[in-house]
């Protein structure tokens, strides 16, 4: 499953069949602020949120981005992985 950046909508998107898992963000003071993650109910319990989070952090790491994880899910995901936790600001 591929995670795509959609800057016009300020969100990362991961299509899963006909559904779409998304992670919203905003750019603030040179950092990417992850604000909210949504996984459709029908995809619940399949690890889709974790796959989305991994794709988001890999994309941001590839761009050497500094990240503020205001979204509790993204913050918890990063905190369990040192390579992503090192990217966090604030």
Crossing angle of the two packed helices 48-62 and 72-79, in degrees rounded to 10: 70
**Share above pLDDT 70 across residues of the chain, in percent, rounded to a whole number:** 99
Domain ranges of the chain: 4-85
Contacts of 39 (CB under 8 A, 6+ apart): 21, 48, 49, 52
CB 14 within 8 A of CB 3: yes
* The CATH classification of domain 4-85, taken from the options 3.40.630.30, 3.30.1490.20, 3.10.580.10, 3.90.550.10: 3.40.630.30
State pTM to two decimals: 0.94
Q: pLDDT digit string (tens) for 40-78?
A: 999 999 999 999 999 999 999 999 999 999 999 999 999
- Which element (helix H / strand E) includes 38? strand 31-38
Identify the pLDDT of residue 1. 81
Query: How many alpha carbons lie under 13 Å from residue 18 in its C-beta half-sphere?
Result: 2
Stretch 30-46: mean pLDDT, rounded? 96
């Amino acid at each position: 499953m591929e995670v795509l950046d959609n800057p016009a909508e300020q969100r990362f998107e991961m299509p899963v069949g006909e559904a779409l898992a998304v992670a919203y963000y905003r750019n603030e003071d040179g950092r990417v602020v992850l604000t909210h993650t949504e996984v459709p109910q029908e995809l619940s319990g399949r690890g889709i949120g974790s796959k989305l989070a991994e794709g988001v952090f890999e994309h941001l790491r590839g761009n050497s981005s500094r990240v503020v994880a205001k979204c509790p899910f993204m913050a918890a995901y990063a905190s369990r992985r040192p390579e992503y936790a090192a990217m966090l600001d604030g």
